[in-house]
Each structure stands twice: as C-alpha cells, then as structure tokens.
Structure 1
Amino acid sequence: MFHSYFFPISYAFMMFPIAALIFTLPFLIVQYRRHGYIHKLRALILYLLLLYLMNAYFLVLLPMPSSRHNLAPSGSIMQLVPLQFIQDIIDGSKIIPDQISTYWSLLREPAFLQVIFNIALTVPFGLFLGYYFRARWGMCILLSFILSLSFEVTQVTGIYGFFDHPYRLFDVDDLITNTLGGIFGFRIAIWINGLLPRIEQLDTNIDRSAKRVSYTRRGIAFLIDSMVWIIGFGVLYGFDIKSAFWIVTGIYFILIPAFTGGRTLGKWIVRIRVTSSGNRASFLALMIRYGLLYWVMLGAHAIVIDSDVTGLLSSPLRTVAYLFVLLADLAFFIHLVIKVFKKDDQLFYEKLSRTSHVISWPEKRLHTDDSNSSPLEV
C-alpha cells in the first residue's frame, strides 16, 4: 500500500523543478509588488505550498489509465451517502467490542486506512491557511472543501474529459474527511504559532526604499518592458514606418519615464524607478542613459540587420560591422557578469548618465504595521 503512495510522491518531486520554474516569475512579480522585496522565509513557505499541492494532486490522480480511451466503469461512479465509510469499516473489520486487542486490526483495514489518508492529505493545507495566510475558521473550512471538491471533480470527469471515462469514484465521504483534515491542520497551526516567526511581522521595521535593487528585479522589469516595446514596434512596423525602432524606443524608454518619475510599465509593476543623484531623473539624464543602452547598443544591431544600410557597404565592411557588434555584445556581457557578481548596481551607461534604480515604495506604507492584516481578508 505504501508503494502506491510513494509512486505519485516521487513523480511530484521530479516535476517540481519545472513547476517551480513556471511559478517563479509570477511569484517574484507579486512579491515585489505586494511586499517590496523578497523575504527568504516567505519564499520558502510558498514554494513548500506549491510542492504540497503537487503531491496532493499526484496522489489523487495517479496512477492513470494506460490509454485515454479507457473502459467505462462497471458500477456507479458516485457515492453520495454521507459517512458510508463507517459502515464499510464495520463490515470489513474483525473487531470484537469487548476485546481491546482486536482494535489493532483496524491498522490493516483498507477502509479505515483510506479515511486516515484522506484526513492526512489536507492537514498541511490547513497548516498553510492557519500559519501563513492567517485565515479564519470559516475561510479554512470553505477552502478545504473547495480543494477536496476539485479533487473529486477532476477524478469523476476523467481529468476534465482527457480520458473517455472516469477512472475514480466521486465519494462524498472524501469531501467530509478532506475538509476535516484541513480543520485539523488549521488547529495545529494555532497551537504552534507561538513557536514560529510571525508571518504578519516579517516586514516590521523594514525600510523597503533603502534596499538594494537586485538585477533579478531589474531583469523582470526589462522582460515586461520588452513585451510592451515589441507590441509598439510591431504596430509601427506594420504601417511600414522605417524608423519604428528609434521612435518606439525613444517614446517608451525616454519620453514616458520623463513624465512618470523614471517609471516604465515594467518598473512600475516591480516598484522601482530611475533617479538622478537621488532626485527625479531629468530628460537629459534619461536621454543619455537609454540613448547609450538602446540607441547605441541595440541600435547597432538594428543597423547591421537593415539591408538598406548594409547594402551600401562592401562585403569586407559588412564583416567588420558584424564583428564590431559581436565584440561589443561580448564586452557588455562580461561587464554585466562582473557587476552581478560584485553586486555593483551601476552599469557603464548608468555611471555616465549619473542615474540609478531605487525602490519606489509609497511613503504612506513605509511605516505601516501590518500585524493585524490577513492576506485572505485584504
């Protein structure tokens, strides 16, 4: 029996790195947006929640039929009698009421072990709700029931139609025992709260605006901005505007930040902005900063791939131009790697423009004590 549990758990652990990779980007965006920085304990708990949910669903869904065209079940696919598991345990057990020693036989009774498994399955979920999310009793019961219902619906629909027929029974007793497990976990969280760091006080006395802007944070902002830039470039290029690259780059990375206090959409989402010597970045500073980065560095790429320009050059000159761009890319890559490892915030174009990134955290929230707030109540 334990082998049947080990198999889904091992698969969940093997798939976890892929799921974590997919989860990381939205996780970072939410954490930067909501909390202003990444706290290691908060990150650990949320990744453990992801791992738990993967294990729970894998335990419920595996093993699957060998083919999508599985056979229809021979009996009913739904058990709608509440507490039917009690009668199943009584019918299958060898308990003699006046002989205590016979009660140990329950540990070998499949119906009893199934109930214990269903309760244990959602105990961690209740722990997360009670400790991290600071949910109330009613919310815990509701969310535990919804999680259990998602298990049962996924099973009875053959993973929402992926299989021709259901391969698991929809059991109302599973809803009861899973919800009970969530309540137990919630109760345990209340007992152990005093032994663990208070989640709602992790950000107490933290000056977010003084924290270093990491390259990870800047990279996320750049990724979002790149998506917006590509859309703008695509629109202008679709109208056959030859200077689309220069126009979109100038508007999005220079003109807009000049009016928004050094913010682009990506920077606004992760709560950072560009400043000049600690003050609002001037138009000239933004022109130097992004002109060097985008019009010079990336602009060189735009020029060498433009056939109208390269067509005017002889073959040797085109080779020299390609080689120059390649060497410039290599030099910038080495420069970036060195800065990342040294944790030096300023790249060459930032030093020349005397600009830098700072965390843009609302002043009214800098000294707010969130000790009484709950993520599930906000």
Structure 2
Amino acid sequence: MGYVQVIKTAVLLFPILALIISLPVFIRQYHKYQAFVFWRGIMIYSFVFYMLVAYCLIILPLPDIQAVANLKTPTYNLHLFQFITEFKNETPLIVSKPQTYLQTLKSASFVQPLFNLFLTIPFGVYLRYYFKRSFKQVLVLGVLLSLFFELTQLTGLYGIYPRSYRLFDVDDLLLNTLGAVFGFLLTPAMTFLFPTQDKLSQKAGSLKSQVSLIRRSVALVTDMLALGIIDSIISGALKTAQVNGSELISKVITIVILFVVVPLFKGQTIGKWAVKIKMVDARDGTKPGFWQLIFRQFELYGVIIPFMTVATPYVLALSGRIAEDKLTQLYFLSIFMLFLNLLFVGYLVWQAFKPSPILFYERWSKTKQVSQITEEES
C-alpha cells in the first residue's frame, strides 16, 4: 500500500476519530475561552487528521500474521547514521554527473530518510503555533512521538503480531526528532499569514454571548453520545430482566429522562450544560414551561431527527424488498423525503450565518437558547 492509499484510508477513518477526540476539545474551548472560534476548530481538526495519517503511515500496510511469524529479518538497528552509509552504497549519485540526480532522488535510500524527516515537521509547527510550546518542549515531545512510533513497530503493533514486521531504527528516532525541531524553526515562515493566539482570544471574547450553530451542534452531538451510553445501560438491564420490547422501552425512557426531565430543572440538557447554553421562554427569558418544553423537544427529537436518521434511510432501503408495482410510489416518496431533508439542511446553512439563530421549531414552541456565560458575568 503506497503513501497515497494510506492517506485515503485516514480520510475514511478521520470523521469517526475526529468525533471521538475533538468533541471534548471543543467542549473545553467553551470552558477555557468561553466561546468557539472557527479557526481553532480548523486547527484541531487538521491536527487530528495529521496525527491519524502519520500513525497510519507507520503501521500500514498490515501484513498476514503467519507471514510475519515466518520472518527472519532483523527487528532493530542500533547503529546511528547507518542511513548515510546506505545512501553512499546504494544510490548512483555522482556529483559531477547531473544525469544521476533524478535516479538518486527516486532511490529508497534517499526517499526513506527524507520521509522520516518530513513526517514530523507538521508536529513541530502545531506545537509552536497552536499549543505554544517552547523549543525544549518540542524537542522532548519530538523524541517521545518518535519513540512511540518505533515502539509500536518493535512490539509488533502492541503484541498483535508475534514479532516486529518493521525495523526499530535509531536513525528514524533521530530523523523524526529533527523533523519536529525543523518544524519549530520553520513555524514563523509558515504561519505568518495565520491569526495569532492573542487575536483568536480577542475573537473568542466577542463571541461569548452568541449561541451559534457550531456551539449548538457540539451540544447535540454530546447529547447523542450520552443518549447512546445511557440507552445501552438501560436496555441491558431490561434484557437481563427479560422485559418484552426492551429496546423500544429503553429508548423512550432515555429520551424522556435526557430531553424532558433533566431540562426541567435549569433548561439544560447534558450537552447544553457542557457548552454553557440554556433554553428559555422567548417571550420573557424565564425557564420554559412543562408543555412548552415537551412541544419543543418532541419537534426536534420526536420528529426532525428520527425523520432524517431513521425514516428516510428506511424508505430508501425498501426498494429491494417491495413489489415491483409499488416502486413508482416509493420513488416519489423517496424524492419527497430527500427534498425535505435537503430543505432542512439548506435552512441550517442559511441560519449558520446568524450569530444566534432561532430555528423554526423554537419559534413554534416560543423558546430560544441563550448563553449562560453572559448571565454568569452580569
């Protein structure tokens, strides 16, 4: 598997990993900076993506376990600067003959060390620009990251393989560490057009009172994760008790607890509490009433989200399971449902340009969301 294929693999895995890793980071944004700045989000996502690609590059392709067990090749190299010796012995470079340059640039003895150097240059850039680490810290973290990579290879992917299928190489440790250091030194030249951390903090200060769609989306994803965890616990308990319809009962109970009972106290779900926003009555700013809250939550969690995530995929999947004479009706129903989904997505995109949008289901229930941070400071 070439490097390009590894990157493609990372692109497929990235959304899942980004959701797991970035969500707590986004939540921390609201507690540390009291707001979410889009550029910080870009940096977090790109850093997660870079680390995923780097990790995939050092473990992929995954060979057959039996083939690894039969290997007789060395598992480590402790001779420093061996890559220089290999470059001299294995490349056709003759300085006085330019025709040997291109072939030299294509040789493994040149590409492999260069790859190990370039692999960690972005790491040094991120550490200095975004995480504001010092030179000594970047040096130490560069050594630790490189050591992590090499130990991953030496242990045969943490014991999954009977032995190492890639060489533990001290030259790689050196080159990876140098890459991080070069990244640190090159940061001013590579990021002079990017906003400084001070400017990002100033931007965050101006966004404290806004309840943007990004902020609300982080709250929603957090709520969905909480829903999945609590639902699995309740469902497991009901199955153990051999209750009929345990999965449906569990989902109903979990939804009522998380999205009706919990918000009754302070107008917040778990996700809204995490990003410091709350639901209020749009007319007077007080806590929404019981039926007002029921209506709002039913619109979102009982109609809109199930329609998009359950009903639409179900109808689209029916094409291979129903009689042929009903396919025409199914076709028009599918088009209609997809149209409604696209209409809602387009509506969200339109609302995303507003600092604190009030969506249609909130207008119908006469509710809105406000920043709790502003209330705490006043």
TM category (shorter chain) comes to 0.5 to 0.7
> Match of 2:370?
358
Distance 2:219 2:129 in 1: 31
Shift of 1:234: 4.2
Matched, 1:30 2:28: no
> Match of 2:39?
41
Deviates most, 65-74 or 243-252: 243-252
Deviates most, 135-144 or 105-114: 105-114
Distance 1:87 1:342 in 2: 60
Paired AA for residue 359 in structure 2: Q
Shift of 1:267: 1.5
Deviates most, 182-191 or 350-359: 350-359
Paired AA for residue 14 in structure 1: K
SS of corresponding position for 2:114: helix
> Match of 1:346?
359
> Match of 2:59?
61
Distance 2:189 2:127 in 1: 13
Matched, 1:11 2:17: no
Against the structure 1 CA distance between its residues 17 and 61, is the aligned structure 2 distance closer, same or farther, given a 3 Å change threshold?
A: closer
Distance 1:119 1:297 in 2: 50
SS of corresponding position for 1:155: helix
Distance 1:167 1:189 in 2: 35
Shift of 1:140: 0.9
How does the TM-score come out when normalised to structure 1?
Answer: 0.68
> Match of 1:173?
171
> Match of 1:128?
126
Do 2:68 and 2:162's aligned partners in 1 also have CA atoms closer than 8 Å?
Answer: yes
Distance 2:283 2:213 in 1: 14
SS of corresponding position for 2:162: coil
Unaligned runs of 5+ in 2: 307-336, 352-356
> Which of 237, 257, 262 is equivalent to 2:263?
257
Distance 1:28 1:15 in 2: 22
How does the TM-score come out when normalised to structure 2?
Answer: 0.68
Shift of 1:127: 1.4
Matched, 1:290 2:294: yes
Distance 2:364 2:61 in 1: 60
1:237-248 matches, within 5 Å, as none
Shift of 1:266: 2.0
Do 1:12 and 1:51's aligned partners in 2 also have CA atoms closer than 8 Å?
Answer: no
Against the structure 1 CA distance between its residues 104 and 182, is the aligned structure 2 distance closer, same or farther, given a 3 Å change threshold?
A: farther
Unaligned runs of 5+ in 1: 1-6, 302-329, 367-378
Against the structure 1 CA distance between its residues 271 and 86, is the aligned structure 2 distance closer, same or farther, given a 3 Å change threshold?
A: same
1:246-291 residue CA offsets vs partner (Å, 9 max, x unmatched): 87666544443343x31121221233211223866436x2442225
The number of equivalent residue pairs is: 324
Do 1:83 and 1:173's aligned partners in 2 also have CA atoms closer than 8 Å?
Answer: yes
SS of corresponding position for 1:274: strand
> Match of 1:185?
183
Shift of 1:138: 2.1
1:23-172 matches, within 5 Å, as 23-26=17-20, 27-35=22-30, 38-66=36-64, 68-89=66-87, 101=96, 108=104, 111=109, 113-172=111-170
Distance 2:137 2:283 in 1: 45
Do 1:20 and 1:47's aligned partners in 2 also have CA atoms closer than 8 Å?
Answer: no
